[in-house]
Homo-oligomer: A and B are copies of this chain.
Amino acid sequence: GSELLQAERAKSNVAVEKLTELLFTREIIERKHRILEILKNEKVFDKSQNYFAGRIDRFETALARAKTLANIKAKHNWTLEDYRTASELISEPGPYGLHDSMFLITLREQGTPEQHELYLKKAEKYEIIGCYAQTELGHGSNVRGLETTATWNSADKTFTIHSPYLTASKWWIGSLGRTANHAVVMAQLVIDGKSYGPHPFVVQIRDLKTHKPLENVHVGDIGPKFGYNTMDNGFLLFNKVKVPHNSMLARFSRVDPQTGKYVRQGSPSLIYGTLTWVRSTIVMQAGGVLARGVTIATRYSAIRRQFQDRDAPETETTENPVLNYTMVQVRLLPLLAATFALHFTGKAMMNLYAENQKIMSQSAADSSQRGTGPEETRSGSDLLADLHATSCGLKALASTTAAEGLEVCRRACGGHGYSSFSGIGTWYADYLPTTTWEGDNYMLTQQVARYLLKSARHVLSGKPPNNNTTTILSTFLSRSDMGAAFDVLGSDSDLVSAFAWRTAFLTFEAAKHRDEQKKPWNDLLVDFYRLSKAHSQYLVVKSFYEALESDETKTKVDEPTLKLLKKLFRLYAMHTLEQEGSEFFASGAVTVRQITLARTVAVMKLLKEIRPHAVRLVDAWDFDDWLLDSSLGRSDGKVYEDMFYRASELNPLNEVVVDPYPGSKVLFKEDPRRSKL
């Protein structure tokens, strides 16, 4: 394998290091390598038994790792970025996961200064360990429907937290199952029999010393999952547990302890911002998530040889690397293009977010609580609404692309892709919930559609465009009579315009159905889904295009590399266009002839041109072998040696000797589990 990868690298002139710097900046790369060294030297982070261990062992190791990491962080005085980098390198969800993220964030953002003193400080020092308990057995997406109650007792100025039904049990709560001793519990605030909707309460659930559940708290781990098994997702039932007045996180709303009146204060626009921020990071990460699978599959299919080329001369005796087959290329290379497309889109999204943060924290937008239903209008400034819709649509598209792309990569590796040693399966399984949490990907599309409908009404009412969305809508309106005539095969900017055109067409079609024909909302969900996908694909194509046209990119990478990136842009756009052919055609953005040419000529030509650079392009993602933990994706190409080593040297099942005959009741004649005792 080694020589094959060397040859691959030799035949391409991609400036790998420069490209890596363009993706990440030098600072981030250096940080990564610095932290990697530290982790590699700690025995507890050794990955060699990860794929073999059962759930309890894996959880135990994950806990050990979480503790060690917390200690290293303190010792080396790590920044939050350092700590996150380390978690990424370890690449497994851990028992402090939700403490480190949602618990701390919620305390910080929704707590008052006194509450920071009371909870946040201790939490930051891991003196208390928490989780974020919103979802229940019966309610996830519909946060308004939560059944846990927090009833105000004016007599002793406390709240009673209660789970009136089994379905009110908190469920899926990360870090809750075994680890946390506190929880931020989202519960319906009830005062004098009146409900004020879900609010956050800090509740202690386990004893700080014995770590046993407190009285009237029923808490535990929800059991094994498709992935994410190093995390103790938990359930939690309360039987009328009293908590003090200061349990309710009171930055934005509180109960006046004297009068028992409900008081709103300040603007919760920041929470709204957090939601958008969380989604933006998902977009930002999706490219890298997918790139792991693409790296593994690309390297493997460069060294995996199978069959001779059918049209090869008789004298040819060596077999063909499967990456030479166009049917393998067409599965992997558009995904390779997608890794870059998503990465640049995520970056653009983050920049937009940063720009808007100021406006956001000032705006007194009357927006609603975290996780409200998808059918509800969130008001706010136009820019904010645009950002919000963009983050919803892109979160859905990016995480779906990454998750499904990983499975395509796994399958492209043939039988060996199915081995845990491929390194794709576990990664894929752990990533999958990203398509469901922070807004189920299907449901998010309703929010995008609602925003686009509003934008259509804005334009149709004759108001001038006020952002990119309304701009593409009015461009469409003004030109729809004369038609599009985009040169999608010849011009990159026309390609972007064709995507904009399709979005606009679908938007006005949806507006017609809803506003003119008064179709029920439910009948339009499928159209909304398509619309959101179309719009998000437009945003990705546009962001990728703009990133490559930017001065920053032009100065950071050399001419040949930039040219190649532009080919990746075209591959991503053209392949998407061809996949969604009938929508593009129906919208009039392109002709059938153009779609046919895109499929049979343009895409095939791009595959051929990009093929020689595939290995170097994935090298630019700069994944260390330690991170990938993959036999197939090894950077030195020693695939078979590594597979064999893991199977024959590391595999504990091989210590078992069975009695194979049905006539004998003995199962294992030798058993490592028993001999170890």
| Residues of A in contact with B (beta carbons under 8 Å apart) | 51-57, 59-60, 63-64, 66-68, 70-71, 74, 95, 126-127, 129, 135, 137-142, 145, 166-167, 169, 171-172, 177-181, 211-212, 218, 220-228, 232, 235, 306-307, 309-311, 319, 324-328, 330-331, 373-375, 407, 410-411, 414-415, 417-421, 425, 429, 432-433, 435-437, 440, 442, 445, 520-529, 578, 581-582, 585-586, 592, 595-596, 600, 604, 640-641, 643-644, 646-648, 650-654, 656-665, 667-669, 672-673, 677
Contact = CB atoms under 8 A, between A and B. Distances in A.
Contact of A648 (B218, B523, B641, B665): B218
B178 A656 contact: yes
Most B C-beta atoms less than 10 A away, residue of A135, A373, A415 = A415
Contact of A658 (B211, B525, B662): B211
16 contacts: A52-B223, A54-B55, A56-B672, A135-B415, A141-B306, A145-B307, A166-B641, A178-B654, A178-B657, A222-B643, A222-B647, A224-B419, A225-B425, A309-B521, A330-B525, A586-B592
A179 B660 contact: yes
Contacts of A420: 223-226
Nearest to A99: B660
A169 B644 contact: yes
A181 B137 contact: no
Contacts of A644: 137, 166, 169, 235
A592 B585 contact: yes
Contact of A52 (B224, B411, B640): B224
A522 B56 contact: no
Given A59-B653, A306-B139, A411-B435, A211 B659 contact: yes
B223 A419 contact: yes
A415 to B, nearest CB: 5
A167 B232 contact: no
A140 B419 CA distance: 14
Contact of A585 (B139, B140, B582): B582
A76 to B, nearest CB: 14
A436 B414 contact: yes
Top 6 A-B pairs, shortest CB-CB distance: A54-B54, A581-B582, A70-B662, A327-B525, A226-B425, A310-B521
Given A129-B661, A306-B140, A654 B220 contact: yes
B595 A582 contact: yes
A459 to B, nearest CB: 23
A526 to B, nearest CB: 5
A359 to B, nearest CB: 30
Contacts of A59: 653, 656
Nearest to A420: B224
A625 to B, nearest CB: 18
Contact of A211 (B437, B529, B669): B669
Nearest to A653: B221
Contacts of A374: 307
A307 B582 CA distance: 33
Nearest to A61: B667
A407 B319 CA distance: 35
A327 B640 contact: no
Most B C-beta atoms less than 10 A away, residue of A54, A167, A375 = A54
Given A67-B662, A139-B306, A307-B142, A54 B57 contact: yes
A522 B307 CA distance: 12
Contacts of A663: 71, 126
A673 B56 contact: yes
A453 B54 CA distance: 51
Nearest to A530: B599
A417 to B, nearest CB: 8
A70 B660 CA distance: 12
Nearest to A527: B600
Given A218-B648, A326-B526, A307 B373 contact: yes
Given A581-B581, A673-B56, A647 B129 contact: no
B55 A653 contact: yes
A517 to B, nearest CB: 11
Contacts of A529: 327
A223 B647 contact: yes
Nearest to A672: B56
Contacts of A647: 220-223, 235
A306 to B, nearest CB: 5
Nearest to A581: B582
A411 B647 CA distance: 32
Contacts of A71: 662-663
A641 to B, nearest CB: 7
Nearest to A211: B657
Contacts of A662: 66-68, 70-71, 74, 126
A307 B376 CA distance: 11
Given A51-B224, A306-B145, A653 B375 contact: no
A225 B422 CA distance: 9
Contact of A221 (B311, B520, B523, B651): B651
Contacts of A437: 415
Contacts of A581: 581-582
